C-alpha cells in the first residue's frame, strides 16, 4: 500500500510539473514561440557563442576541419569523413579568432530553391510573421540564422541565387560576390568553373561589410573609400530594369524607394530585358547541367531525396541538349553588361518577381521548385559573374502586416564595396 501511495504521489508530481511548464510556456508571446520554432532547424550543428564579439555561421557545404560537410544530405552526412582542413574562405575568420557558432542548414546539395530539407528539417522564415512562407534556398539556414539573431553574419554560397533568394525570403541582406573573388575550394561543388560563389548574409549593411571583410582581406578599407567617394545617393546612377511578370506592387515599392533616396534613375530598354531573359535561360541550363556533371555520383544513392534525384535528372538533359551552346553565349552576355555599366553604376531589379510563396502543406515537389525557380531574377547575374546585393524593401502596410520585398542591385565586376555603399544609402533612411 505504501508503494502504491508513493507511485501516486510521483504521478501527481509529474502531472503538476507538466502543467506548470505548460503555464509558463503559455506565458510566452506568440512572437516568442514562433521565433523559437524558427530557430529549430536553422543549424545542422550549433554551438552557442561564448562571450562577446561577432558571431559567424557557416553554411554546411563549406568544409570546416574536423566536421563532416553534409551538404544538406542524409547520404553525404552518413558516408563522409570529417574534413581534414578548413575551406580557404574561412582563413581570415580563423586568423581573427571569430566565433563560429555552427554549420547552417541548406537544401540538399544546394540544388533546390524553396529551402526545404526533409531530413534535417526545414528552417522557418518569419517574414510573414507566421512561418508559412518558404525560407528560400539554398542558403536557407544562413538566412534564418541571421534573421533570428542566432548569428550576426552567415556565409552562404550562390550558384544561381542561393544567397539572394533566401535573403529576400527572410528580409535580410545578401551579397553575391564576383565570380573568382572568393575561393570556392573546399565548398561542395555545383558549378565551380562557371557560377559558384561564396558571400556573406546579415541583418544590416554594417554587419554585411564585416562579413565581406572576413572573405576579402582589405575590404574594410575598400568600403570606407567607397563611402567617401560617393556619400550621397544623387551621385549614383541606377539603370532600372523592368521584367514582365513582376508583381506591380513590388515594382512600385522599389521605384518609390529609389526615388525617395534621390538616386539618378535611367530606364533600361526592352531590348536589354530580352537579353536578360535569354541570359536567365542560359544560366539555368548551365547551373542544372553542372549540378548533374559534378554530383551525378549521388543520383542513385539511397538516402538522396527523390526531389534531388529529379533535379539532377533534369540537369543531365540540360547538359546533353543545350549546355555547350549556353556556355558559348556567356561571353556575349558579359560584353552586354559591360556596355550597360558604361552608362550606369548599378542595375536595379526585384530579387523575386513576387512575394515569397507559402510552402505547400505536403511539402515541396518538382512543380513547386520550378515555380519558385521561375520567380527569381538572379541567375543572369551568376551567368555573367558579376556581384549583386539583395536589399530588403518595405511595401505599403496591408492591414496589420507590412510586406517586405527585395531589391537586387547588380554591379560591375569587383564592385562589392560600391554596392554596399549604395545599400547603406537605402538602409540609412529605412
The domain limits of the chain are 32-429
List 56's β-bridge partners, or say none: 100, 153
In b/e form, how buried is each residue of 280-305, taking b as 16+ CB within 10 angstroms?
bebbbbbbbbbbbbbbeebbeeeebb
Q: Helix H segments across 65-115?
A: 74-79, 91-95
How high is the pLDDT of residue 2? 39
Look up residue 398 and give its DSSP letter: B
DSSP H or E segment with residue 25: helix 2-27
Strand order of the β-sheet with 55-59 is 43-46, 99-104, 55-59, 153-158, 197-202, 173-176, 388-394, 404-410, 346-350, 237-240, 264-267
Residues 6+ apart with CB under 8 A from 254: 348, 350, 393, 405, 407
- pLDDT at residue number 27: 56
**C-alpha grid cell, residue 103:** 554549420
* pLDDT, tens only, 37-56: 667 899 999 999 988 999 99
Do the strands 55-59 and 153-158 form a parallel or antiparallel pair, or are they unpaired? parallel
DSSP state of 111: -
How many beta carbons lie within 10 A of that of residue 277, not counting itself?
15
Alpha-carbon gap, residue 339 to 305, rounded angstroms:
43
Q: Report the C-alpha dihedral over residues 35, 41, 42, 47, rounded to 10 degrees.
A: 100
Q: How far apart are alpha carbons 58 and 73 in whole angstroms?
A: 16
**Crossing angle, helix 30-39 and helix 140-147, to 10 degrees?**
140
DSSP string, 123-156: ----TTSSS-B---SSSHHHHHHHHTTS-SEEEE
Please answer whether residues 381 and 356 qualify as being in contact, where contact means their C-beta atoms are separated by less than 8 angstroms: no
Tell me whether residue 425 is exposed, middle or buried, using C-beta atoms within 10 angstroms of its C-beta: 0 to 12, 13 to 18, 19 or more.
Answer: buried
pLDDT along the chain (430 residues), means of 10: 42 37 49 67 94 96 98 98 98 98 98 97 94 97 97 98 98 98 98 98 98 98 98 98 97 98 98 98 98 97 97 97 98 98 98 97 93 97 98 92 96 98 84
Residue 10 in grid coordinates: 510521483
Report the predicted TM-score, pTM, of the whole model to 2 decimal places. Answer: 0.92
* 3-class SS of residue 408: strand
Write down the pLDDT at residue 63.
Answer: 98
- Give the contacts of 292 (CB within 8 A, at least 6 positions apart): 299, 312, 313, 314, 315, 316, 318, 319
Q: How many Cα atoms within 13 Å fall on the side-chain side of residue 228?
A: 6
Q: Cα separation of 208 and 389, whole Å? A: 10
Q: How far is CA 194 from CA 319, 328, 329, 382, in A?
A: 14, 12, 12, 8
Q: Could you tell me the fold of the domain covering 32-429?
A: Amidase signature (AS) enzymes (3.90.1300)
Cell of 215: 572573405
Contact 80, 111 (CB under 8 A): no
Amino acid at each position: 500500500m505504501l508503494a502504491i501511495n508513493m507511485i501516486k504521489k510521483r504521478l501527481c508530481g509529474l502531472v503538476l510539473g507538466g502543467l506548470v511548464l505548460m503555464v509558463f510556456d503559455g506565458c510566452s508571446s506568440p512572437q516568442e514561440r514562433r521565433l523559437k520554432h524558427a530557430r529549430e532547424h536553422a543549424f545542422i550543428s550549433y554551438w552557442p557563442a561564448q562571450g562577446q564579439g561577432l558571431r559567424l555561421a557557416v553554411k554546411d557545404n563549406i568544409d570546416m576541419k574536423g566536421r563532416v560537410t553534409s551538404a544538406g544530405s542524409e547520404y553525404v552526412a552518413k558516408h563522409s569523413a570529417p574534413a581534414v582542413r578548413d575551406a580557404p574562405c574561412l582563413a581570415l575568420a580563423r586568423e581573427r579568432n571569430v566565433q563560429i557558432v555552427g554549420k547552417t542548414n541548406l537544401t540538399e546539395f544546394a540544388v533546390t530553391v524553396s529551402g526545404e530539407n526533409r531530413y534535417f528539417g526545414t528552417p522557418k522564415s518569419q517574414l510573414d510573421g507566421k512561418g508559412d512562407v518558404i525560407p528560400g534556398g539554398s542558403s536557407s539556414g544562413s538566412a534564418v540564422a541571421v534573421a533570428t539573431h542566432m548569428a550576426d553574419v552567415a556565409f552562404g554560397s550562390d550558384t544561381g541565387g542561393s544567397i539572394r533568394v533566401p535573403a529576400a525570403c527572410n528580409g535580410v541582406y545578401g551579397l553575391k560576390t564576383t565570380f573568382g573573388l572568393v575561393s570556392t575550394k573546399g565548398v561542395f561543388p555545383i558549378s565551380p568553373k562557371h557560377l559558384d560563389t561564396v558571400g556573406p548574409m546579415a541583418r544590416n549593411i554594417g554587419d554585411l561589410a564585416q562579413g565581406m571583410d572576413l572573405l576579402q582581406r582589405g575590404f574594410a578599407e575598400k568600403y570606407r573609400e567607397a563611402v567617401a567617394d560617393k556619400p550621397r545617393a544623387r551621385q549614383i546612377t541606377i539603370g532600372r530594369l523592368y521584367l514582365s511578370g513582376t508583381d506591380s506592387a513590388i515594382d512600385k515599392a522599389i521605384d518609390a524607394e529609389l526615388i525617395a533616396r534621390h538616386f539618378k534613375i535611367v530606364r533600361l530598354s526592352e531590348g536589354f530585358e530580352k537579353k536578360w531573359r535569354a541570359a536567365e535561360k542560359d544560366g539555368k541550363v548551365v547551373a542544372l547541367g553542372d549540378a548533374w556533371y559534378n554530383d551525378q555520383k549521388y543520383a542513385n544513392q539511397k538516402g538522396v531525396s527523390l526531389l534531388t534525384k529529379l533535379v539532377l535528372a533534369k540537369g543531365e538533359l540540360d547538359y546533353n541538349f543545350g549546355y555547350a551552346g549556353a556556355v558559348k553565349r556567356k561571353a556575349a552576355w558579359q560584353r552586354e553588361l559591360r556596355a550597360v555599366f558604361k552608362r550606369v553604376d548599378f542595375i536595379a531589379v526585384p530579387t523575386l518577381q513576387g512575394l515569397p510563396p507559402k510552402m505547400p502543406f505536403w511539402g515541396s515537389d518538382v512543380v513547386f521548385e520550378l515555380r519558385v525557380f521561375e520567380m527569381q531574377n538572379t541567375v543572369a547575374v551568376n551567368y555573367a559573374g558579376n556581384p549583386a546585393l539583395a536589399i530588403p524593401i518595405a511595401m505599403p502596410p496591408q492591414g496589420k502586416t507590412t510586406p517586405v520585398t527585395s531589391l537586387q542591385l547588380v554591379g560591375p565586376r569587383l564592385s562589392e564595396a560600391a554596392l554596399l555603399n549604395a545599400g547603406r544609402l537605402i538602409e540609412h533612411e529605412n
